[in-house]
Structure 1
Amino acid sequence: MRSTGEGTWLGSAKWTGKIYSGGWRQSEGGTQQVSEPATGEQLAEVGVAAPADVARAGALAARAQRDWAEVAPPERAEVLLRASRVLRDHSGAIREWIVRESGGVPAKGDYEIAAGRSQLAQAAGLASLPGGEVLTPPVPGQVSYAWRVPLGVVGVINPWNAPLLFAMRALAPALVLGNAVLLKPDPHTPVSGGVIVARMFEDAGLPEGLLHVLPGGIGTGQAIVADPHVAMVSFTGSTEAGRAVARAAGEGLKRVALELGGKNSIVVLDDADVDAAAASGAMSSFGYQGQACVAAGRHLVHADLVEPYTESLIRQAKALRMGDPREEGVAIGPVISERQVVRIERIVGESVAAGARVLTGGRRDGLFYPPTVLDHVERTMPAFTEEIFGPVAPIVPFRTDAEAVEIANDTEYGLTAAVHSRSVPRATAVAEQLRTGMVHLNDVSAKDAANAPFGGMGASGNGSRIGGTANLEQFTQWRWMTMSRAA
């Protein structure tokens, strides 16, 4: 076993086999091995937080949060800006961990680092926004005003596909608005989604007790949701797991923000630039092996353009080199786990058995699944109905704009979409009819921005939004006060 970054800022001697909770300490839940999907090599060992660890962390966080809420907002913001500088200064070691632990190519690591820094900067800006508003008093002579106060302790449960970015997306606004955080990284990426985060804020001077990094599985997550000190849970993951989190949080009348799955469409109208649309489609379906909630799971293409679009998409799929993401020129790394690659195989296999056709790809090599293009996809097939979370592009033709809208909306999900057309008014008219929380014209489906309200509709979330000023609503609550001159 070799720890990535040994002898550097991220050297493992400090954190091997430990959790971060009031400093680095041994956990009650034992340890877990961290492995590399591309090679199977054991990279490191982290602690696993047991329910007793979560209970201790919740109590420590609640005590620390009371003092943190009294710190001036600009001082809280400065901690985030220092964390951003730590992320910049150690980007090489951090990138290596993202590549080896998550199976993404180096460009994916660079993206997470840049986007994570953007999230920190955007969150720091929240400190300068008005903290409340003066209201018209209900009685003449009174003063009436309302202001935002922290929730207290926020539980953040993160997935493996963008572990560093998603951690920054939730905990940065939560901290700058005066909350403490219990962060549970996914078991596949406990270093890039947990240890790195702890080291960043440790170096940035965040007061002890405000951030607890608690790796673990379902039991750890359940303990965080149930902990009486946790006022809110921010969860990113599958729709099935999100429903379970919502049920458990509801028992405690806790606020819950759910960013869940998607079955997203790229809609290519008959006046689109075919090659540009196919390039967007390839990036949306094949980028990071399609392992993103915002990946394109359907390519809805006007019947007159299906042939050239399909040919262009196949060319781009075949041009993507698959292999160890550390190797020069590799564009497609491994799928995160055996469980996930089996799921992709099942969805493609069942669809082919029902009449779909594999035009390229479709056969895995260990955890490596090649970019795959399917046609003859019917709306009853798993490739159409299920979120694949793999590098698979099902193509479905349509004849009219109205039919494209109807097909795109034929799903319980409602996260994101893209519409391609040389006519922006026409693309806009289509986009406005799509039941999604986000839509992008002449672009990829997979987009994110720190200042944008990110989230979905239907089975893609509970209507919550993270990003920009939407974070004010997520991570604070209102308090109203009136003052009278005399009783």
Structure 2
Amino acid sequence: MTVNGESWPNQARWTGKIYSAGWRESEGGTSQVTEPATGHALAEVGVASPVDVARAGARAAQAAGDWAAQAPSDRVEVLLRTSAALRAHSDTIRDWIVRESAGVPAKGDYEINAGLAQLTHAVGLASLPRGEVLAAQAAGGVSLTWRVPIGVVGVINPWNAPFLFALRVLAPALALGNAVLLKPDPLTPVSGGVLVARLFEDAGLPEGVLHVLPGGARTGQAVAADPHVAMVSFTGSSEAGREVARVASQGLKRISLELGGKNSIIVLDDADIEAAALAGAVSTFGYQGQACVAAGRHVVHADLVEAYTDALVRHAQTMRMGDPRAEGVTIGPVISERQAARIEHIVDESVADGARVLTGGRRDGLFYPPTVLDHVDRAMPAYTKEIFGPVAPVLPFHGETEAIEIANDTEYGLTAAVHSGSVPRATAVAERLHTGMVHINDVSAKDAANAPFGGMGTSGNGSRIGGTASLEQFTQWRWMTAPGQM
């Protein structure tokens, strides 16, 4: 698309640069962005050094006060203009998401539509009641409490849904009057950072309120440690989340961690097998299984396990693997060689220990096919580890207590799904699961802008983003009193 005579997002404008009080050269050099499906170079972005982060933190702290002082309606106008820009450039953004993150176009559409929902919901956040009148301690006195912006929010973003996850934090944080330092993952710095900056830039967000600082672990550590950053929001692996928490805790910052999961789909003996298997296939094979909410265990009643597994294999074998831009392709490559090797190692080690591959199980470069395993026991990596790939371990059970015990047999506690012909029965099982989210007769992978998203155990630190939980995350209480008489 061409805007004011320039093609959007005007790559020449940001090539080799970071976004920090405008597009500028970085102290950390540059990095090449590569398309996983082809190996072709897509772009060159700047890499933010600790010096860049320190400069951005100071500038954001200066800008945060003015931004918070603006009327909520003024902040809302920026969000509305950002939504309009997103709609206008959705085709271009979808193409970047597909090429950079290797998801099919439907995955790009999902990120765009869910991002729009985040912006829309954030508009409502800006006008919520912000405080309370308390009972005063003396006659005629005044006692008030209200929420104020937390200040500067540091966001460390993952590669698997880079555009959506950036907006999931930015929309509410900005709506509530905060400034943001956004560090996109080095694998997806354009769709997870550059495009977001361009949208808010076009929408007229005041200079200095948003900084986009691509880079790796060194950059992320600098964001987490920066003294101007009052809160760190991290989405990624539990291992990396622990390190972010360690660094951020030195400054006594608020920390929001959305981490991994070993999520189960439980199929009770009265479930619709075809519907459950379809939900299981979508939950495990969608975007090559590279989602914290993907199904990592298929826990199926012994009376149904053969029919369910046959249906799951059938769904896996109908999926066409290839370049996600190609017509009819439903599964693309995984994001990197490191990720492909990790999936391969987990499957091969589990097979060596006695698991059986019913379909898939052999990769071609970055392309790992939808894979179904049975004969899985609790000592195998396919059972214990978060695979983050298109691999479905199937485990039979004989009673509901055993199914619940299998689903809860993990340090994680993010999400789950329960399938049954009886919603009350499924709900009773769901209530016994140690997860932050659970879905009845549906996929495990769901989110909504108005819902508190997050997990238990090592899936997070109990924080939530979404709905009114965002108000709690991105503001803090202030109390003020005045005496009735002096």
The residue number in structure 2 matching 1:119 is 118
Give the deviation of 1:7 after TM superposition.
6.2
Question: Does the residue aligned with 1:430 lie in a helix, a strand or coil?
Answer: helix
Aligned partner of 2:244 in structure 1 is 245
Aligned positions of 1:271-420 closer than 5 A: 271-420=270-419
Q: How many pairs does the alignment contain?
A: 482
Aligned to 1:89: 88
Which residue in 2 is equivalent to 1:262? 261
Pairwise CA RMSD: 0.9
Match of 2:450 in 1: 451
Q: Determine if contact 2:272/2:420 at 8 Å carries over to the other structure.
A: yes
The aligned residue for residue 187 of structure 1 is 186
Letter in structure 2 aligned against 1:101: E
Counterpart position of 2:213: 214
Residue aligned with 1:455, SS: coil
Q: Where in structure 1 do 4 or more consecutive aligned residues deviate above 4 Å?
A: none
**Counterpart in the other structure of 2:66:** 67
Q: Provide, for residues 353-412 of structure 1, a one-character-per-residue CA deviation record: whole Å limited to 9, x for no partner.
A: 110000000000010000000000001110001000000000000000111001100000
User: Which residue matches 1:50?
Assistant: 49
CA contact (8 A) 2:141 2:485 kept: no
Shift of 1:141: 2.6
The residue type equivalent to 2:161 in the other structure is A
* Alpha-carbon distance in structure 1 between the residues aligned to 2:136 and 2:456: 36
- Write the letter of the residue equivalent to 1:455: G
Alignment-mate amino acid for residue 325 of structure 1: P
CA offsets per residue over residues 76-134 of structure 1, 9 Å max, x none?
11111110111110001100000000000000000000000000110111011001111
Q: Secondary structure, in 3 states, of the residue corresponding to 2:85?
A: helix
Superposed counterparts of 1:170-185, under 5 Å: 170-185=169-184
Aligned-partner Cα distance in 2 for 1:150–1:298: 40
Describe how 1:198-209 pairs up with structure 2 within 5 A.
Answer: 198-209=197-208
Superposition deviation, residue 11 in structure 1: 2.7
1:163 maps to what in 2? Answer: 162
1:249 Cα shift? 1.0
- Cα deviation digits, residues 41-72 of structure 1 (max 9, x gap): 00110000000000100011000111111101
| 1:243 aligned counterpart, secondary structure | helix
TM-score (structure 1 length as normaliser): 0.98
Question: Per the alignment, in what secondary structure is the counterpart of residue 69 of structure 1?
Answer: helix
Residue 424 of structure 1 aligns with which residue? 423
1:165-218 residue CA offsets vs partner (Å, 9 max, x unmatched): 000000111111111000000000000000000000000000000000000000
Q: Write the distance in 2 (CA, Å) between the matches of 1:72 and 1:480.
A: 21
Task: Quote how far apart the aligned CAs of 1:140 are.
Answer: 3.1
Ranges in structure 2 where 5+ consecutive residues have no aligned partner? none
Deviation at 1:142?
Answer: 1.8
Letter paired with 1:188? L
**d(CA) in 2 for partners of 1:337 and 1:241?**
17
Matching residue's letter, 1:216 = G
3-state SS of paired residue (1:235): strand
Q: Structure 1 CA distance, aligned partners of 2:350 and 2:458? A: 23
What percent identity do the matched residue pairs reach? 77
CA deviations on 1:240-261 (whole Å, 9 max, x unpaired) are: 0001111111110000000000
Aligned with 1:464: secondary structure?
coil
Tell me the distance in 1 between the aligned counterparts of 2:68 and 2:13.
Answer: 29
TM-score between the two structures when normalised by the length of structure 2: 0.98
Aligned to 1:336, the other structure's residue is in SS state: coil
Report matched runs for 1:129-168 at 5 Å: 129-168=128-167
Quote the Cα distance in structure 2 between the aligned partners of 1:78 and 1:120: 11
Give the letter for the 2:239 counterpart: E
Alignment of 1:454-473 (within 5 A): 454-473=453-472
Mapped partners of 1:391, 1:78: distance in 2: 41
In 2: Cα distance, 1:224 partner to 1:160 partner: 17
> Quick one: distance in 2 between partners of 1:381 and 1:201?
46
Residue equivalent to 1:3: none
In 1: Cα distance, 2:38 partner to 2:10 partner: 21
- Native 8 Å contact 2:138 2:484 kept in 1: no
Report if the CA contact (8 A) 2:376-2:382 is conserved: yes
Contact map agreement 2:36 2:333 (CA 8 A) in 1: yes
Q: Which runs of 5+ in 1 are unaligned?
A: 1-5
Q: Deviations over 1:6-50 (max 9, x none)?
A: 962113110000000000000000000000000000011000000
Cα contact 2:281–2:312 (8 A) shared by 1: yes
